[in-house]
Structure 1
Amino acid sequence: MPIIKANGINIACRDEGQGPAILLCHGWPELGHSWRQQVPALVAAGYRVIVPDMRGFGDTDAPDAVEDYTILHLVGDMVGLLDALRIDACAIIGHDWGAPVAWHAALMRPDRFRAVAGLSVPWSPRGSHGSLVGMARAQGLDRFYMVWFQEPGVAEADLEHDPYETQRRLLVGASGAAAASGAGWPLMIPPGKGLVDACPPAESLPHWLTEADMQTYAATYRRTGYRGGLNWYRNLDRNWALTAPWHGAPIKVPACFIAGSLDGVLRMPGMDKAMRAMDGVTCTDFRGSTLINGAGHWVQQEAPDAVNRALTMFLAGL
């Protein structure tokens, strides 16, 4: 992918099509490749589609310092990308960790991000009692996977032992089929195990994940390691402190939410409340939620046609 200098780093970015701009933000442990089924559909619908590898991922720079991965850096990267491409404003769409980036971009810079769609992770405004990691620690949940990610080097050793097996278990393990069978990956990591060992082996690949896709993910993570993406999690406490100026502020640009009906994120504590609150409370121009039956966490890969329909309908209404 072409490399663009933005916000002080080099960002690898796919840029296709003509028309109103759309920025697609991927999550963890993924790459811009996770949007491979959306780009052609959105280009065909008349949009310019911009797909970066996010900070710390793929061919984009991965700064050394943990504190260089805050939500302000991540939103700043997206603003810097628009500046570098000479785009005044765009719609921003994010999945998994990319969803909080998209939600915060819309909250912080509504002048640059004219609409927002979150996939898999609903908008959860800053709470009054600390970050998700801080609250988990306070409850003694030291094996909660986000807490387990906090110590530099521990998760890296586990995930980087065999990136092919890591990607295979994590991607298949958070799918709708795995959730339906009860074989998904756990939120709590059993003592004596790492995340990869805690996920059941995947006997075969699902229809939405080809061997070529697996090789793309595995080859990239074999080269880059997992440190960059893990550093996003290591800033959750810091993000809670940095976002104090926006405490209680709603998202005012048009917004929508899309998720698989079997996404494990929706069963995490507080997610049902967050989903209800988007409709007129935390988002003042909410255009609706779309739950795709049978899909799991990797919704745009598992159910691309349904996601593409939902996105094009939302975008057409702007």
Structure 2
Amino acid sequence: MSEPIQRIIETNGIRLNIAEHGDGPLVLLCHGFPESWYSWRHQLGALAAAGFRAVAPDMRGYGKSDRPEAIDQYTLFHLVGDMVGLLDAIEAPTSVIVGHDWGAVVAWYAALLRPDRFHAVIGLSVPFRPRGNARPTSLMPRTADSQFYQLYFQQPGVAEAELERDPRATLRAMLYAASGDASAGSTTAGAGISMVPHGRGLLQGVEAPPNLPHWLSERDLDFYTGEFRRTGFAGGLNWYRNIDRNWELMAPFAGARIKVPALYIAGDRDLVIAFPGMDQLLANLRNFVPQIRDTLVLPGCGHWTQQERPDKVSAAMIEFLRSLPNRN
């Protein structure tokens, strides 16, 4: 089958690069950190072969898409707005929206805020988390010796300096450490990168891969390395720097529920599953997403869901999509 076609579109005051493949009902694929449209390389072809039009953008701050300098240009309202504008740019009235990691947060909130445009949602790794009663960073783990990695990301320039020192080594370590292949036999993948020792970096003490896992080739790593060597990591890190701002902005939607059909997929060795309170959230997810059809847990899979288990993820997505009323 042919390769995805890439082009630049105008949306929400910026330019986004999109990769698209196939014809039929639209499926919009939103990637996370630190990735790009390329993280959906397997699903683009599978969805096209199944009769869908798959579109995967480089999200704001990534790849060939624009990277605004101001940190406050990366709120959830900007990110969801980009996806609404994307639909307008390609003249699509509605879409199913799919997201992984931070892209899952965008997908869940797109379905919450604009169910008229996003009539179903699939979240990978990160479930829908309703707005809590306190600023998220105030609840993140910290000790006398270390802090949660998302707190480490808050200070502009600090994480950039570490991650950009050697982008290939950074990506090789991060992609392996958060995968289901790391620390075989441990209960949770990625434990080594959840907490960052004070005065040290994210990658200090992270398990180095002896060889790349089967799902990540040298060619794949070359692609990611080329993108982040050119763009740096600031764009993606700025998403984390809006966590508290998002909490403030979402106050009008506290208690709102996602009312479109939904599917959640995660690996049983994903570090996200071990986040504080996640067990209770997953057990009560139907209270916040009443039309969730299924929660699919993939044995031995870590954080990079659609890359580590491409066939299972694609098959689950297609089964869910075919169960929906046909919309063009």
TM-score of the superposed pair, with normalisation by structure 1? 0.96
Report deviation, 1:299: 1.1
Paired with 2:110 and 2:184, the residues of 1 have a C-alpha distance of: 34
Cross-structure match for 2:234: 227
Stretch of structure 1 that moved more, 135-144 or 154-163: 135-144
Percent identical among aligned pairs is 52
- Could you tell me whether the CA contact under 8 Å between 1:179 and 1:264 is conserved in 2? no
Residue 80 of structure 2, aligned match among 60, 72, 75:
75
- Greater shift, 158-167 or 200-209, is seen at 200-209
After superposition, give the CA deviation of every residue in 1:256-313 in whole Å (9 maximum; x if it has no partner). Answer: 100111111101111112212222x101211010001111100110111110111111
Partner of 2:45: 40
Question: 1:141 & 1:126 partners in 2: Cα distance?
Answer: 29
Matched-pair contact (CA < 8 Å) for 1:142–1:148: no
Match of 1:166 among 152, 165, 170: 170
Are the counterparts in 2 of residues 25 and 94 from structure 1 also a CA contact under 8 Å? yes
Scaled by the length of structure 2, what TM-score is found? 0.93
Is the aligned partner of 1:22 residue 2:27?
yes
- Partner of 2:97 in structure 1? 92
Give the counterpart of 1:284 among 258, 281, 290.
290
Asked if structure 1 preserves the Cα contact closer than 8 Å seen for 2:145 and 2:197, the reply is no
Q: Is 1:119 the equivalent of 2:121?
A: no
> SS at 2:54's partner residue?
strand
Matches within 5 A, 1:93-242: 93-131=98-136, 133-136=137-140, 143-182=147-186, 184=190, 185-242=192-249
CA distance in 2, matches of 1:141, 1:300: 34
Show structure 1 runs of 5+ residues with no match. none
CA distance in 2, matches of 1:305, 1:181: 24
- Unpaired runs of 5+ in structure 2? 1-5
Contact conserved, 2:30 with 2:59, CA < 8 A, in 1? Answer: yes
> How many pairs were matched up?
316
Letter in 1 for 2:314: N
Cα distance in 2 for residues equivalent to 1:293 and 1:118 = 17
1: CA distance between counterparts of 2:285 and 2:114? 18
Alignment partner of 1:309 is 2:312: no
Contact 1:25 1:93 in 2 (8 A): yes
| Distance change >3 Å, CA 157–CA 106, structure 1 → 2 | same
Could you tell me how far 1:186 is from its partner in structure 2?
Answer: 2.5
Secondary structure at the residue paired with 1:49? strand
CA contact (8 A) 1:134 1:237 kept: no
Partner of 2:23, secondary structure, is coil
The residue type paired with residue 217 of structure 2 is: T
Root-mean-square deviation (CA), in Å? 1.5
Letter in 2 for 1:291: V
Whole-Å separation in 2 of the counterparts to 1:48 and 1:261: 30
> Separation in 2 of the partners of 1:299 and 1:138?
27
